[in-house]
Structure 1
Amino acid sequence: MSEEQNRNKVGTAGTAGTAGPQPLRGKVALVAGATRGAGRAIAVGLGALGATVYATGRTTREHVSEVGRTTETIEETGELVTAAGGEGVAVRVDHLEPDQVRDLIARVERDHGRLDVLVNDVWGGEHLVEFGKKMWEIDLDRGLRMLELGVKTHIVTSHCALPLLLRTGGGLLVEITDGTAEANKPYREMFFYDLTKNAPIRMAFGLSHELKDAGATALSLTPGFLRSEQMLDHFGVTEENWRDAIAKERHFALSETPALVGRAVAALAADPDKARWNGASLYSGQVAQEYGFTDTDGTVPDSWPYFQRVMAGEDPGDPESYRLRP
């Protein structure tokens, strides 16, 4: 990859360059599920603040996961982290395999003796989602696979990694999901999807109690309508002409780049008072307003108040009116 390509990709994934402060220099992070989308941007955002970031996933330049995408790899994510100012370490890991996760944590411990940030972003189940079907109409293996990919992977990773995270004190666990505890009160229209996306919220809440005495913080975080690589492809647009997709999907007008959630995790990780968020269920636009950063276009999509009204069957009004311009 050329330097120019690296710069362009970093610009959409997170904060590029090393010109700013690097409060996470010397800190070690693991982003589980960092191949693309939110996970990649989170890895880059942490790297931009100086962290060493272990970026894991199943898709490499030699191996493609069941997601079936060959255009994003963990090696590329590692390179983007380094280009942003951190140290990117790409490791192929299937987070359903405890032995692979244990080996990863042993490597982090051997290399650094610490883990400061753990981000559980493993998912890769979009191809299994079937809205509009009753629970018993969905193939059971497909439904259970969603729970494996989006819930079991998070449990396995936390179980293996938390002892190291707790060793130095002040660690941060972030569960990435879709929706907040408040926004997900309405049914998410598919039994297995509803379970898969609510479980990380509850996991963060439960672990917030178990980590508190050790001085660590656990929280859940959701992006809004994410303009990930897959979503752009779904609508047949690019980041340059993404607004062309609004004609197909009105709500897409409030979409956000992965960089916003990446910057959110980085801001939380760098906050010396992060413990105030212990047990919280947050969204990217909320964190942006709290810490004073924006998406790549200089705006803050305040997405979840909008989508709460949509899911409640109310008229939310113009999506653009929820895009804040600081």
Structure 2
Amino acid sequence: MTTDTALQGKIALVAGATRGAGRAIAVQLGAAGATVYVTGRTTREHTSEVGRATETVEETAELVTEAGGTGIAVPTDHLDVEQVRSLVARIDRDHGRLDILVNDIWGGNHLLVWNTKMWDTDLGNGLRMLELGVRSHVITSSCALPLLVRNPGGLVVEVTDGTAESNRRFRENFYYDLAKNAPIRMAFTLGEDLKDAGCTAVCVTPGFLRSEEMLDAFGVREDNWRDAVAERPHFAIAESPLYVGRAVAAVAADPERARWNGQSLSSGQLAKAYGFTDADGSRPDAWAYFEEVEYGGKDAPADAYR
């Protein structure tokens, strides 16, 4: 395998790397030469509340190493402050630095009921979504940033669903809306806090992500995913997790990444800026498609946005 070395010697932590975007980001950072600590709650011995035993943090670490980096799996519940402190202390002992922090912690889809009024939503489930999608990010940044800011040039990436522009529209569930808008503001405010340390914070979103969970829900695999388009036409704009992985790796390798500080960015936007593609050679821009076609009424096929 041909390996890029743009991130050789860099130390990364991808929090929430068991599957989906987090896994792909970790692997692409590894492909660029980084040492990547990957965390999550599902291991080969334990399955998290998400209920998927098919993807584990150990497997993600192995994929990072296969890609050319060094993958290190550290099972971690990011709502447990002491576990996160222990994780950061280990990185400090091992390397004395942290160059890239990716907050991709979520795991709340199983709690989500679309098109349900706030007062009709189970309060416990709603608060759990906020714990998983907001509190976990805050805990991780609070524990990890003292290590990251020791050296200038550090990068924090908040991962969410939607850009600041697209999320001006209601996300069809009160708690989901809060959970997915919070990382956008986190990146903005952390960008201000990190300026004096010479570090950068951004928020990155995939488009319509063909995660393992989404493929299973649609009854398809990555090699035949287009079979689901007949039933779900918007799936035609879907992108593989590789795409957002390449987006984050491109930002991390960019010596001028401070130009993005505090901003909310999509994989499609970053593909145009850096010239990378998805696995099939296309450059899907799902958020532009939804804004112009789904909401704007433009008569155009999804392929026009690939």
The reply to whether TM is greater than 0.5 is yes
Please report how far the alpha carbon of residue 79 of structure 1 lies from its aligned counterpart in structure 2 after TM superposition: 0.2
Equivalent positions of 1:114-133 (< 5 A) are 114-133=97-116
- Name the residue aligned to 2:12: 29
Shift of 1:317: 2.6
Q: Which letter maps to 2:164?
A: A
Q: Secondary structure at the match of 2:197?
A: coil
Matched, 1:264 2:247: yes
Structure 2 Cα separation of the partners of residues 119 and 167 of structure 1? 17
Instruction: Give 1:169's match in structure 2, choosing from 142, 146, 152.
Output: 152
- Separation in 1 of the partners of 2:42 and 2:231? 30
> Structure 2: which amino acid aligns with 1:88?
G
Q: Which residue number in structure 2 is paired with residue 8 of structure 1?
A: none
Query: Equivalent residue for 1:244?
Result: 227
The alpha-carbon deviation at position 307 of structure 1 amounts to 1.8
C-alpha distance in structure 1 between counterparts of 2:68 and 2:152, whole Å: 25
Q: Do the aligned partners of residues 316 and 219 (structure 1) sit closer, same or farther apart at CA in structure 2, a change above 3 Å counting? A: farther
Are 1:141 and 2:124 counterparts?
Answer: yes
What do residues 53-99 of structure 1 show as CA deviations (whole Å, max 9, x unaligned)?
Answer: 00000000000000000110000000000000000000000000010
Q: Which residue pairs with 1:14 in the alignment? A: none
**Hey, what does 1:59 align to over in structure 2?**
42
CA distance in 2, matches of 1:97, 1:314: 46
CA offset at residue 278 of structure 1?
0.2
Structure 2 unaligned spans of 5+: none
User: What CA distance in whole angstroms lies between the structure 1 residues aligned with 2:231 and 2:218?
Assistant: 8
Distance in 2 (alpha carbons) for counterparts of 1:28 and 1:201:
24
Q: TM-score, normalised by structure 1?
A: 0.92
* Structure 1 residue matching 2:113: 3-state secondary structure: coil
The structural deviation recorded for 1:240 is 0.9
**Could you tell me which residue of structure 2 aligns to residue 101 of structure 1?**
84
Determine the C-alpha separation between the residues in 1 that align with 2:151 and 2:173: 40
Cα distance in 2 between the residues matched to 1:310 and 1:37:
26
* Structure 2: distance between partners of 1:168 and 1:316: 50
- Cα deviation for residue 21 of structure 1 reads 2.9
Matches of 1:163 and 1:307, distance apart in 2: 39
Of the three residues 155, 158, 182, the one matched with 1:199 is 182
The secondary structure found in structure 2 opposite 1:99 is helix
User: What letter corresponds to residue 161 of structure 1 in structure 2?
Assistant: A
- Residues 235-314 of structure 1 aligned to structure 2 (within 5 Å): 235-309=218-292, 312=295, 314=297
- After superposition, give the CA deviation of every residue in 1:94-128 in whole Å (9 maximum; x if it has no partner): 00001000000000000000000000000011111
The reply on whether 1:225 has 2:208 as its aligned counterpart is: yes
The one-letter code of the counterpart of 1:319 is: A
Please list every run of 5 or more consecutive structure 1 residues that lacks an aligned counterpart in the other structure.
1-16
> What's the offset of the Cα at 1:311?
6.2
- Whole-Å Cα distance in 2 between the matches of residues 27 and 269 of structure 1? 10
Is residue 190 from structure 1 mapped to residue 173 from structure 2 by the alignment?
A: yes
Shift of 1:314: 3.2
Spell out the pairing of 1:77-92 with structure 2 (5 A cutoff). 77-92=60-75
Relative to the length of structure 2, the TM-score reads 0.98
What is the RMSD computed on CA atoms of the aligned residues? Answer: 1.0
Contact 2:151 2:197 in 1 (8 A): no
Q: 1:265: how far off?
A: 0.6
Q: Could you say what secondary structure the match of 1:220 adopts? A: strand
Aligned to 2:136: 153
Count of aligned pairs: 306
Name the CA shift for 1:95/1:316 in 2 (closer, same or farther; >3 Å). farther
Alignment partners' CA distance in 1, 2:120 and 2:276: 44
Matches of 1:132 and 1:27, distance apart in 2: 43
Secondary structure of the 2:167 match is: coil
